């Protein structure tokens, strides 16, 4: 099983990296943080995905910290941030708000940055109104099932030895039988399959953290498309979880031990939509020039 690791090594859609989520805790889950007392490097799914996509980008963002000079706002980041904020408010207020009141929450939370035109922003706003209203309607069924939301935008972590494995989950629900459901919202995807959830690195990381902190509690993951309401779930068995933990440990050590100063930018598929492309393109131009200058002079013409 790939657990999202091999897939992301080949081509990685990085999402949610720079969303400025607000932190809110509505149930004390501090057991997850008490275990990690000393200051250790932290690895999150976003960091790991960035490393798997491009180690040069990892260096720029997490070691040299020059992202603020290059990273741009994007419509999908702004749209996702807005929707997450609305849903957070909705759940904080008890998850009982009338669908029609959701539009006002959307207006309050709206993030305008990154849209390329007023028309594009209008299209997103109209889509957002439908999404948040449909969400409020669908949530009534959850209330009837007595499913309880116990955490929102919650940072969870687990000590992996040399590093702390950490992640921020959109929502954690608890069923009457005690099962915990980790829920991740996707604002850009339409259809979700169990296979997609099972191979999603972030969902597996969240499961690993919660299952290691709460070994007696059944935990499963769900990805929910906000656009369509489509959702699917997956759960790692103990054998898979152990194998995934070993892979993450090995990968984490590789990330910590990597000599980033020895790595040069290489042209890969991800360059096309990478904000660091101008910087790397300058490197390639200089490299070409240096090769020309180093080439033996040919005067055969
Ligand atoms: S442009 Fe390409 S090589 Fe450069 S940081 Fe981005 S993905 Fe990596």
Which residues line ligand 1 at a C-beta cut-off of 6 Å?
54, 56-57, 265-266, 268, 270-271, 274, 276-277, 280
Q: Residues of the chain with pLDDT > 70: what percent?
A: 86
What's the rounded Cα separation, in Å, for the pair 240 and 19? Answer: 30
pLDDT in tens, 206-223: 999 999 999 999 999 999
Alpha carbon nearest to ligand 1 atom 3, residue? 265
Alpha carbon 71 to chain centroid distance?
16
Per-residue DSSP letter, 43: E
pLDDT at 35: 54
Q: How much is the average pLDDT of 18-45? A: 56
What distance in angstroms lies between residue 121's CA and the mean position of ligand 1's atoms? 28
What is the fold of 5-262?
A: Lambda Exonuclease; Chain A (3.90.320)
pLDDT category at 133 given cuts 50, 70, 90 is: very high
161: left (phi over 0), alpha (psi -120 to 50) or beta: left
What's the rounded Cα separation, in Å, for the pair 248 and 165? Answer: 9
| Cβ atoms 48, 166 nearer than 8 A | no
Sequence spans of domains, the chain: 5-262, 264-295
What distance in angstroms lies between residue 69's CA and the mean position of ligand 1's atoms? 15
Is the pLDDT at 295 greater than 70? The verdict is: yes
Q: What is the mean pLDDT of the chain?
A: 87
What's the rounded Cα separation, in Å, for the pair 112 and 173? Answer: 30
Question: Which SS3 state, helix, strand or coil, does residue 145 take?
Answer: coil
- Which residue has better confidence, 172 or 292? 172
pLDDT category at 292 given cuts 50, 70, 90 is: confident
pLDDT at 144: 84
| Cβ atoms 76, 15 nearer than 8 A | yes
Is the pLDDT at 66 greater than 80? The verdict is: yes
What's the rounded Cα separation, in Å, for the pair 3 and 244? Answer: 7
> Which residue in the block uniquely carries the two structure tokens 């103990």?
238
Is the pLDDT at 296 greater than 50? The verdict is: yes
Is the pLDDT at 17 greater than 80? The verdict is: no
Alpha carbon 14 to chain centroid distance?
7
Q: How much is the average pLDDT of 124-145? A: 91
Q: How many residues does the chain have?
A: 301
pLDDT at 24: 32
pLDDT at 6: 58
What distance in angstroms lies between residue 124's CA and the mean position of ligand 1's atoms? 29
What is the pTM (predicted TM-score) of this model? 0.82
pLDDT in tens, 74-96: 898 999 999 999 999 999 999 99
Q: Which atom of ligand 1 is nearest to the CA of 277?
A: 1
| Cβ atoms 199, 7 nearer than 8 A | yes
Identify how many contiguous H helices and E strands the chain contains and give both numbers. 11, 6
């Amino acid at each position: 099983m790939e657990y999202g690791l091999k897939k992301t090594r080949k081509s990685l859609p990085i999402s949610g990296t720079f969303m400025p989520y607000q932190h809110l805790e509505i149930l004390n889950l501090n057991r997850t943080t008490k275990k990690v007392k000393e200051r250790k490097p932290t690895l999150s799914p976003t960091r790991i995905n960035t490393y798997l996509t491009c180690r040069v980008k990892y260096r720029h963002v997490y070691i040299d910290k020059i992202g603020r000079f290059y990273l741009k706002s994007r419509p999908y980041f702004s749209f996702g941030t807005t929707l997450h904020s609305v849903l957070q408010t909705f759940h904080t207020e008890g998850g009982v708000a009338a669908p029609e009141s959701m539009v006002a929450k959307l207006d309050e939370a709206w993030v305008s940055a990154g849209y390329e035109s007023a028309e594009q922003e209008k299209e997103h706003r109209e889509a957002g109104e439908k999404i948040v209203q449909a969400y409020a309607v669908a949530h009534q069924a959850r209330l009837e099932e007595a499913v309880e939301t116990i955490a929102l935008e919650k940072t969870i972590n687990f000590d992996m030895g040399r590093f702390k494995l950490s992640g921020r989950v959109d929502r954690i629900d608890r069923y009457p039988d005690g099962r915990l459901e980790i829920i991740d919202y996707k604002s850009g995807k339409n259809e979700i399959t169990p296979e997609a959830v099972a191979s999603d690195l972030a969902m597996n990381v969240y499961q690993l953290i919660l299952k290691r902190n709460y070994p007696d509690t059944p935990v499963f993951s769900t990805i929910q498309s906000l656009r369509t309401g489509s959702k699917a779930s997956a759960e790692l068995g103990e054998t898979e979880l152990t194998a995934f933990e070993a892979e993450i440990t090995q990968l984490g050590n590789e990330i910590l031990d990597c000599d980033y100063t020895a790595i040069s930018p290489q042209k890969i598929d991800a360059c096309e939509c990478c904000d660091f492309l101008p910087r790397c393109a300058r490197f390639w131009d200089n490299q070409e020039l240096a090769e020309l200058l180093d080439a033996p002079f040919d005067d055969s013409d």
